[in-house]
Structure formats: C-alpha cells, structure tokens
Amino acid sequence: MSFKPRSVYELLGGEESLRLIVDAFYDKVEADAVLRPMYPADLAESKRRLFLFLVQFFGGPARYSEERGHPRLRMRHFPFAIDRRARDHWFDHMCAAIDETGIEEPARSMMRDYFERSSAFLINRPDTIEIED
C-alpha cells in the first residue's frame, strides 16, 4: 500500500483560495512604501504571474511554465534590490494574506514554511547601513 501526501493545492480544494491570497497580498503591496516602487504601475500582470506560479508550485496545473518557461526566481528577481527589510515586508504581507483568507492547518504552515525559505533565498543585496559622521 502506498501513501501519497496531499499537495497544498489539494488541501485548499483548488485555485480559488490562491486567488484570494494573491489579491489580499497585492492590496498590501499597493500600500507599502518599500515594495510598491519596485512593481510596475499596473499590478494586474504581476498578480497574474504570482497566481499562476503558486498554482503550479503547490501542485496544480503547470500553466505558469507554459507561459513563462522555467521560473528561475533568483534570476528574475535580480533587477530588484531585495534586502532583508524588503524581504521581511514581503513575507509579513504574505503571512497576513494567508491568515485573512482563513487558510487552515496543515496548509497554512506548509505555505508559511515555503514562503519563509523562498523569500530569504531571494535576498540579493546587503542590508543598508547608516553611517553617522
């Protein structure tokens, strides 16, 4: 007998919760003075890409790669200056979006663990230090 662990996508019962999370997340990005300037004026495409990526990553249809190819997230984020502070803002907004959407355990922790690691992995600039003279 074999046991196949259920994917986050299955636990969520499809893509609708991921759409709600991405919407809630981008509402927070929109109001964030550190993150907002990194994104294009119109957030619709950014929203759509993150949504398709998450559907694919968490075990749903691979529509992201059909459209965008291999994710290569580190490379795609390199143009944006992601230091510890930007990463913390991103991660905090994502955790809040997950909670506002009412995602239950175990999916909640599975998602938080993934975002904690992946967001740290995307830091690509040193912290800004303020030197007093």
What is the rounded CA–CA span in Å between residue 94 and residue 122? 15
Asked if 28 touches ligand HEM (CB under 6 A), the answer is: no
The reply on whether position 112 binds ligand HEM by CB under 6 A is: no
- Residue whose CB is less far from ligand HEM, 100 or 118: 118
Rounded CA gap, 99 and 77, in Å?
26
Number of Cβ within 10 Å of residue 16's Cβ equals 10
Site membership for ligand HEM, residue 96 (CB under 6 A): no
Q: Which of residues 34-53 bind ligand HEM (CB under 6 A)?
A: 35, 38-40, 45-46, 49-50, 53
What are the angstrom distances between the C-alpha of 26 and each of 6, 64, 96, 107, 130? 27, 18, 11, 20, 30
Q: Report the residue number, 4 or 82, with the smaller CB distance to ligand HEM.
A: 82
- End-to-end Cα spacing for the chain: 69
Residues forming contacts to ligand HEM in the complex (CB under 6 A) are 35, 38-40, 45-46, 49-50, 53, 68, 73, 76-77, 80, 82, 86-87, 90, 115, 118-119, 122
